[in-house]
Structure 1
């Protein structure tokens, strides 16, 4: 039996890969790429919420997050939205790095690993 399943798969990638009870979300960015860091972060995290729910998980099940910022000057603005979004007492392991993103108007991207709700 194959313990790996995939959701919303294209030739290039899957939005979610599930291995046993662990979920791996592809990198999420905002749809509102002309917005400032706060709205982009909120939009991006709403997409994470939708994928987690679709896969049977939630914010309180996030194990790890890697956040990519186009410019570290946006660290505080991103964290203001992130801190309000993460349930108190459920902060995941996290890394935040500065990186060039796929399009110049994108300011933030996140990659998430989460557990399925049991």
Structure 2
């Protein structure tokens, strides 16, 4: 049986799950909900960097990104941070949609799949 490694687990979810050299991150949100969408996005991509590093990989190995915005009109502001953060890293397949968030102060949530 193949090994499954989980990190940051609680009663509801794990922050990351690794299986067969694929790393699946939970949807990550900002902690400081007083920030605007750009500030929250910066915080989320920093969390993505940390979670990927904890699993022995990085953003250059991302395969897929799912992005939820509270207001799709914030897409340009979020994309500006996203593009700066990606730099020359490979571009993942990506979806970006508007969604009702669990907490209305969350402006962005990002979920990543990467490989090692």
Q: Distance in 1 between matches of 2:48 and 2:111?
A: 9
Whether the aligned pair in 1 keeps the contact of 2:59 and 2:89 (CA below 8 Å) is: no
Residue 38 of structure 2: SS of its match in structure 1? Answer: helix
CA contact (8 A) 1:64 1:114 kept: yes
**In the alignment, which residue of structure 2 is the partner of 1:61?**
61
Q: Give the structure 2 partner of residue 101 of structure 1.
A: 101
In structure 2, relative to structure 1, the CA distance for the partners of 1:89 and 1:57 (3 Å cut) is closer
Could you list the runs of 4 or more consecutive aligned residues of structure 1 that deviate by over 3 angstroms after TM superposition? none
Q: Distance in 1 between matches of 2:8 and 2:40?
A: 22
Q: Structure 1, unaligned stretches of length 5 or more?
A: none
Which runs of no fewer than 5 residues in structure 2 stay unpaired? none
- Partner of 2:77 in structure 1? 77
Instruction: Map 1:46-57 onto structure 2 (within 5 A).
Output: 46-57=46-57
How far the C-alpha of 1:5 sits from its partner, in A, is 1.6
TM-score (norm. length: structure 2): 0.96
The structure with the largest strand share of the pair is 1
Count of aligned positions = 116
Q: Does the 8 A contact of 2:49 with 2:59 survive in 1?
A: yes
Question: How many angstroms does 1:89 deviate by?
Answer: 5.0
* TM-score (ref. length: structure 1): 0.94
**RMSD of aligned residue pairs (Cα, Å):** 1.0
